[in-house]
Every structure is written in C-alpha cells, then in structure tokens.
C-alpha cells in the first residue's frame, strides 16, 4: 500500500507522514531528503549550480539509501554515511529547489523512490508523489497552510534543531522555494485531482493525523 502526502514546505508533511508510517508500521520515505542529500554532495564537491551536466553526472554516481530509525525518524545514507542532520542545514534548503528542478535529476530520484516504495508498504511525502511518482497511490493527501503559519513552523523547527536563523531569512527561503517548486517545468508542486486537500493552518498535528486516519 502506498500513501502519498504532498504539499509545500512547512505544511506539516514530514511530521504527519512520520507519525502515520510509524502507527501503521509502514516505511516512511521523505523524498525531499533525497534531493537534499544530492544538494549536500553538490555543495561538498564545489560544483557550480549552473553546471547542470556535472550535477546530473554526480546524481547518477551517488548512492542514496533510506531507512527508518526505531522511533520512526528518517535515516538517510549518502554513499554509506548518515547525513540525516547535515541535510537540514539552511544552506541546503537555500539551494535544494534549484537542484530539484533539473529534469534528469528528477528522473533518477523517481526511479529510486518507486523502487523503495514498491519494496514495502510506504508513506511518501514530497511535492509530486500523488501526481507523478505514484499516480496510482492507494491514498493521496495534499497538506497546505497559510504562508505565515508555514514560515512560523519552519522557523520554530530550525530553532528546535539549534539553528539560529532569522525569521526573515526563513520567510525568504520559503517564498523562493514555493516559487521554484510550483513553477518548474518537470513535476511541479500540484495537488493531484484525487487527493484530499487539508488546510492545516489551524489544526494540531493530532487533528491532521486523525483526519488522515478517518479516510484510510
């Protein structure tokens, strides 16, 4: 069984997807983390973001593996190394959308996401899961929230991770990513026609989880 959860950054996807997967004993696949891992590798390798060819070559030569820790959280291995923490750095958030808009990169990630999702019952969260990666997913959800609320959540989340980052910088980052993610040519952020739309702005995590469980 495949459960697809899409939506913009800060809508609560990862938190909700992780809880749902843990309760159902499904694999939690954070597809954004995969694009983040590639971005980390690109930055480490000092490739200029304009060098699309080199980025594609790098993407075809790295090994991304994904599992869950006992508490249900994500463990992302990049060439065998656990980079689950590094990929949350603001520097990665800043550039990830530019990498994720490259068509060939998306194709490579799509193959990997399908392979992982077909191995085990899974909950996948991302931008194009219900529209492109698993258009036949058993259940599809689109989580959204007002922009201000999403910025607030992301800012809090980063603070909780010990990262001192200005509210205005988070706002700018989210706004840029919203634009790039929803206007790119390949697999833009979009609600699938058959996805259940949930506006989480005024909902608690538990309320969103319950709403999803009600419709499973």
Q: Which residues lie near ligand DC (CB under 6 A)?
A: 9, 31-32, 35-36, 96-97, 100, 126-129, 177, 181
Token pair of 37 as six digits: 């891992």
Tell the smallest beta-carbon distance from residue 88 to ligand DC (Å).
Answer: 8
Q: For residues 55 and 214, which CB has a smaller minimum distance to ligand DC in the complex?
A: 55
Q: For residues 117 and 126, which CB has a smaller minimum distance to ligand DC in the complex?
A: 126
Tell the smallest beta-carbon distance from residue 63 to ligand DC (Å).
Answer: 19
Q: For residues 176 and 201, which CB has a smaller minimum distance to ligand DC in the complex?
A: 176
H-only helix segments in the chain: 13-24, 31-44, 52-61, 90-100, 103-119, 147-160, 167-183, 205-214
Tell the smallest beta-carbon distance from residue 206 to ligand DC (Å).
Answer: 21
Residue 69: partners with Cβ closer than 8 Å, 6 or more residues away: 75
Tell the smallest beta-carbon distance from residue 182 to ligand DC (Å).
Answer: 10
Contact, 154 vs 11, CB < 8 A? no
Q: For residues 106 and 212, which CB has a smaller minimum distance to ligand DC in the complex?
A: 106
Compute the distance between CA of residue 194 and CA of residue 108 in angstroms, rounded to an integer: 25
Compute the distance between CA of residue 112 and CA of residue 123 in angstroms, rounded to an integer: 15
């Amino acid at each position: 069984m495949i459960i697809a959860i899409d939506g913009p950054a800060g809508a609560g996807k990862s938190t909700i997807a992780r809880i749902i997967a843990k309760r159902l004993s499904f694999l939690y696949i954070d597809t954004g983390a995969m694009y983040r891992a590639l971005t980390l590798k690109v930055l480490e390798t000092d490739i200029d973001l304009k060098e699309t060819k080199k980025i594609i070559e790098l993407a075809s030569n790295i090994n991304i593996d994904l599992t869950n820790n006992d508490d249900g959280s994500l463990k992302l291995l990049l060439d065998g190394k656990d980079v689950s923490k590094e990929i949350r750095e603001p520097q990665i958030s800043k550039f990830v959308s530019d990498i994720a808009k490259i068509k060939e990169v998306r194709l490579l990630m799509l193959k990997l996401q399908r392979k992982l999702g077909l191995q085990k019952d899974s909950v996948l969260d991302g931008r194009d899961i219900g529209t492109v990666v698993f258009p036949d997913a058993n259940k599809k959800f689109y989580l959204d929230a007002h922009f201000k609320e999403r910025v607030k959540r992301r800012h809090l989340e980063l603070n909780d991770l010990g990262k001192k980052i200005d509210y205005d910088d988070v706002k700018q980052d989210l706004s840029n990513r919203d634009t790039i993610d929803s206007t790119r040519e390949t697999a833009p952020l979009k609600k699938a026609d058959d996805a259940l739309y949930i506006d989480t702005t005024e909902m608690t995590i538990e309320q969103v989880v319950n709403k999803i469980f009600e419709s499973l």
